[in-house]
Amino acid sequence: MGAEISTKPKRGSVVVPGTSTGIGSATALHLAENGFHVFAGVRRDEDGEALSAHAPDKLTPLIIDVTDESTITAATSAVADAVGKRGLAGLVNNAGIAKPAPIEYQPMADFRWQLEVNLFGPVAMIQAFLPQIRRGGGRIVNVGSIGGLLVLPLNGAYSASKFGMRAITDALRLELRQWNIHVSLIEVAPVKTAIFGKTYAELDGLEKRLGETGYKLYEKQVAAVRSATEKAAADADPPLVIAKVIAHALTSDKPKTRYLAGHGGKAVAVAAALPDRARDRALVRELGLPKPSSA
């Protein structure tokens, strides 16, 4: 252990929920390799055991479901007992699910669930761990998405949660400024994670869930969005790219307020800055969406 990390500075402790796979897993291991002790949130014991096997002395798994207040309370207590007066060096809010559907037909339970996981859960984590962050002079890093810059059809609920994360980050940056607590937002471009497989399954299941009438209305949009998703997946960055950006936000003397992470982010930012009608026309062309009928 000592020989492996002897050249790495000890950077304190961070809490990272959602570390079973993808960005969360890559971030937990990258931070552990770079001097942090990571409290890695997982929803299953076996996921925590698998992750900690890669960094047994630098990573402590905790059961955290960001939609379950009891697990957050228990994790907060466990972390407080472990770090004591040292407090926390950081909290990385990494949560994201997508259940695409046209707003007209999306069950409200599915709409609410995306907000619950992607927005309300991170807020609950911030409220729970902020006293320890203040004590330790730590930072907050919120993992958002380019879906918080540019909205695609069938992704209204997902983007609502990610636009909401931008608002929460902006508010926190002002509210916590008096304690010099930095708050950064990582606007993530497509990354090779399990979310793509889950998105395909959701899109492929729309024919059944929308019913004959609903699916007939939106069939061309579903096909266009699925094709765009396949292209994004083929060109996606590995999760470590995002993990390195998160590490910069936690360690830099001058952390950015926002990071466009991933090579597809700049093009999306340019498109997002277009006037509304121009942006709509560009997306219709790019995605191959059906044009307005002449009737």
Q: Catalytic residue numbers?
A: 158
Neighbours of 81 (CB within 10 A): 8
Structural contact between residues 262 and 237, judged by C-beta atoms closer than 8 angstroms: yes
What is the H or E stretch that residue 144 is in?
A: none
Q: Is 152 helix (H, G, I), strand (E, B) or coil?
A: coil
Question: Three-state secondary structure along 146-193?
Answer: HHHCCCCCCCHHHHHHHHHHHHHHHHHHHHCHHHCCCEEEEEECCECC
Q: What single letter denotes the amino acid at residue 230?
A: E
How many secondary structure helices (H) and strands (E) does the chain include? Answer: 12, 7
Rounded distance, CA 127 to CA 131, Å?
Answer: 8
Residues 6+ apart with CB under 8 A from 271: 150, 279, 282, 283
